[in-house]
Amino acid sequence: MSARRVYIAGSAMTPFGRRRDHSTPRDWVRQVAAAALDNAGMDASQVDSVVFSSETDFLSLQLVPAPLLLDELGLVPRPVVRVESGGASGGQGVREGFMQIRAGLSKTVLVIGYEYAASHLSGDDVRMLYGLSFDAEIEGFAGATATALYALSIQAYMASAGVTEVQLASVSVKNHGNAMQNPNAHKPMRISLDDVLSSSPVYNPYKLLDCSLISDGAACVVLTSERAQLREDRPAIHIAGTGCATDHVRLGDRSDIGVFAGKQASARQAYAMAGIRAPARQIAVAELYDAYTGAELQSIEALGLCPPGHAGPAALTGEFSLNGRLPVNVSGGLIGQGGPPGATGIAQVATIAAMLGGAYIPALQPSNLGSFGVADCHAGVGTLNVTHVLERLDD
């Protein structure tokens, strides 16, 4: 018997950013769950299980949050799982829901991701906690930060691929610009290459506008194996392939610190499951984990979406813009839309599904899309990688 398909039945997300209204994840998860079920044309009685994702309890200051949040949704006694995988948490949450359905444990799964840091913690505290998500004993407590480690990786990539700071800056211009049309975006900005290049230095070569944002928010997708439950007014979108792979935590243990080898392995798994043999030709749109401008270029190449050494020049000429050959981070990505880690991978999947179905934000809806899109996120410097291939079914 062939494996059952896992469809995206509905989705929703809150705006990403800093909250000044004293709301918390309790409020956000109720909001996105209700909105996603409404978007799917379903109700809570059809939900078999729930998956929550968030980066760490250290940010929310709520230990064992899953049963509490399930209770907030009024879904007791449904089974619940909480996934914690750094920046890959949202992607892992989707993967967990996918596996539950493929295993026959559930027919419909609610996957909800959230993060709660920017609205109640200082930036210095969040950066310190992020540093502890690498090797805490050897790197984090020694003062290493995420930006410093990403900078070491991009320096090696730039040296081998000939990437320039101007090419990095073009990613920031594109993603902040895309966010101008996204009502959920944290940092919509119309900026120039010179604005990026003259922004405050952080760690060479990264400057302030090369870096993503510390954001709060939530996102939800409704996964189901029941095609009969899908709305008839839009095409069916399913997860055609999923992959997960790792690299060494410490950069010094890698053979090439400029290459996201774990992401390459994750993509190979997802492509093989989806029957993708030529991703640069078959993938029509991508939402990638642009924690920094260089990480977008490294990810594009790791996912096989362009030839090695091509991502930098292609970014500068607009190949990955909304109207380019392969639109990347049309949402604005982490740089423009914002980056709550527990929600990001879920929002990526929701965005790709909406675009493939022709139902994304009208000003950001790519035209003449093919059938496949890819959503990819990671923790660490490409350390833990999760890749999903979505396909629109036209039959």
pLDDT averaged over the chain? 95
Does the structure show a pLDDT above 80 at 99?
yes
Buried b (16+ CB within 10 A) or exposed e, 368-384: ebebbbbbbbbbbbbbb
Query: Would strands 49-53 and 80-83 be described as parallel, antiparallel, or unpaired?
Result: parallel
**Helix 146-161 × helix 123-131 angle, to 10°:** 70
Tell how strand 372-379 and strand 283-288 pair up.
parallel
Rounded to whole angstroms, the Cα distance separating 162 from 347 reads 32
Model confidence pLDDT, tens digit, residues 308-331: 999 999 999 999 999 999 999 999
For residue range 54-84, list pLDDT tens digits in order. Answer: 998 888 888 999 999 999 999 999 999 999 9
CA angle (372, 97, 281) in 5-degree steps:
15
Q: Provide mean pLDDT across the span 125-136.
A: 82
Residue 95 pLDDT greater than 60, yes or no: yes
The percent of residues in the chain predicted with pLDDT above 70, rounded, is: 99
Nearest in space to 213 (alpha carbons), one of 297, 118, 88, 287: 118
For the chain, what is the radius of gyration of the CA atoms? 19
In this predicted structure, the answer to whether residue 88 has a pLDDT above a threshold of 60 is yes
Higher-pLDDT residue of 170, 370: 170
For the chain, percent of residues with pLDDT exceeding 90: 86
Do 384 and 88 contact (CB within 8 A), yes or no? yes
User: Using one digit for the tens of pLDDT, what is the confidence trace for 375-385?
Assistant: 999 999 999 99
| Predicted pLDDT of residue 178 | 98
How far apart (Å, rounded) are the C-alpha atoms in residues 345 and 55? 11
> What pLDDT, on the 0 to 100 scale, is given for residue 2?
58
| Tally of CB atoms within 10 A around 98 | 21
Cβ contacts of residue 233 below 8 Å, gap of 6+? none
9-44 pLDDT, tens digit each: 999 999 999 988 999 999 999 999 999 999 999 999
CB 49, CB 106: distance < 8 Å: yes
pLDDT at site 1? 40
Q: Which 3 state secondary structure label does DSSP give 172?
A: helix
Peptide bond into 340 cis (omega under 30): no
Q: Which residue has the tokens 């407590």?
A: 141
| 201: pLDDT strictly greater than 60 | yes
Contacts of 34 (CB under 8 A, 6+ apart): 12
- Is the pLDDT confidence value at 280 over 50? yes
- For residues 357-379, average pLDDT: 95
pLDDT at 73: 97
CA distance 197 to 208: 9
pLDDT over 50 (residue 306) = yes
Q: What pLDDT digit, counting tens, does each position of 153-198 carry?
A: 999 999 999 999 999 999 999 999 999 999 999 999 999 999 999 9
What would the pLDDT profile of 208-243 be if each residue is shown by its tens digit? Answer: 999 998 899 999 999 999 998 899 999 999 999 999
- Kindly report the CATH number that applies to the domain delimited by 7-121+218-225: 3.40.47.10
pLDDT, mean of residues 256-277:
98
Residue 368: which pLDDT band, with cuts at 50, 70 and 90?
A: confident
Residues near 202 by beta carbon (within 8 Å), at least 6 away in sequence: 147, 151, 208, 210, 211
pLDDT at 84: 95
